[in-house]
Amino acid sequence: HAKALGRSQICIYNHSMQEKTKERLHLFNDLHQAILDNAFSLVFQPQLDDENHIIGAEVLCRWVNRGQSVSPDVFISAAEETNLILPLGRWLVMESCRTLKQWRDAELLPTSFNRLAINISAAQFMDPKFEEFITEAIRYHKLCPKLLELELTETLFMGDKHIIREKMSALSLLGFTFALDDFGTGYSSLSYLQRLPINKLKIDRSFVMDILDSKTPISIVDSIIQLGQNLKMDIIAEGVETNDQCAYLSNHGCHSFQGYLFSRPLTEENFLKFIRNHSSQQDV
Ligand code: C2E
Ligand code: MG
Ligand code: MG
Ligand code: MG
């Protein structure tokens, strides 16, 4: 009996492995096709300061495949596993620049708006053509590099430290700024952080969630804020969902926020509406 059971378990295992592999192959195929078809779209999540000014936005990618929206956590990591992140990443940068240029030309942005943040995958950043490409994208759209904030994650720092430092320094000299995304969840050596031209730490949502949780004895958020202050970096918190979290952050030295409390990521049309409504509220 045990033997029979064992064998059937093995069969089930093989079957689900096969299914998984098949699903992944479909995903890669669809992703490849989606890149050829330009089937992605962008959404924009506002970033605010504690005087309620819109100081920027983060661009996030969206993909609806066969009628179903696929989470970026799924398709971005699939794109990263293949080289598809390179063409997708180039499209994201071009489309972000094009959109930003339009907003500026039409004077749709408030004066407080000073950054559009773009997520850059490690593989995309390590592409030898990255610097040339992003510089060209900026030049083509007649934008100032200061307007783009490149969001990197700590996974990048598992790569060649020397190359990373050189690339970041070169881009920083050109005027691009860097934010360290999901800060605190990944790998970074603190002494190394200090030697990189990082302008901003972005406190990960998981720490923001813990803020008023009495089960967490010490506040990681406080430590990150202090670290950022010591390193002379700006600090923004992501995933801010409640007024209590926002008040805590503000009282502890973090004055920039992004999260559902203010707005979900919005389509371009709705983002522009958000800006208009927001400025009319500020006028009264
Ligand atoms: P991320 O860069 O840390 O982006 C923040 C994620 O948190 C977004 O999820 C956003 O929708 C979500 N979020 C924002 N505020 C809140 C909140 O108050 N509560 C909760 N529960 N969630 C909030 P999204 O859009 O699903 O993206 C997930 C991840 O996928 C991103 O994390 C980023 O790592 C990656 N990603 C998304 N778009 C791009 C892209 O264009 N390029 C690259 N390389 N990665 C991207
Ligand atoms: Mg991000
Ligand atoms: Mg993040
Ligand atoms: Mg995060």
CA 148 to chain centre: 12
Other Cβ atoms within 10 Å of 241 Cβ, number: 14
Does the pTM exceed 0.90? Answer: yes
CA-closest residue to ligand 1 atom 20:
239
Does 241 sit in the ligand 1 pocket, CB within 6 Å? Answer: yes
For residue 202, which atom of ligand 1 is closest to its CA? 3
- CA–CA separation, 115 and 253 (whole Å): 20
Return the ∠ at Cα 82 (arms to 81 and 84), rounded to 5°.
120
Q: Is the CB of 119 under 6 A from ligand 1?
A: yes
**Measured between alpha carbons, how far is 140 from 105 in angstroms, rounded to an integer?**
14
What is the CA(105)–ligand 4 centre distance, in A?
32
Residue 204: left (phi > 0), alpha (psi -120 to 50), or beta?
beta
Angle at the Cα of 154 from the Cα atoms of 205 and 49, rounded to 5 degrees: 40
Is ipTM > 0.95 here? yes
Helices assigned H by DSSP within the chain? 2-37, 72-81, 85-105, 122-126, 130-140, 161-174, 190-193, 205-210, 220-230, 243-251, 268-283
Residue with tokens 């958000």: 274
pLDDT in tens, 127-186: 999 999 999 999 999 999 999 999 999 999 998 999 999 999 999 999 999 999 999 888
- Pocket-testing residue among 42, 58, 60, 156, ligand 1, by greatest number of atoms within 8 A of Cβ: 60
42 lines ligand 1 (CB under 6 A): no
Nearest atom (ligand 1) to Cα of 121: 44
| pLDDT digits 0-9 by tens, 85-125 | 999 999 999 999 999 999 999 999 999 999 999 999 999 99
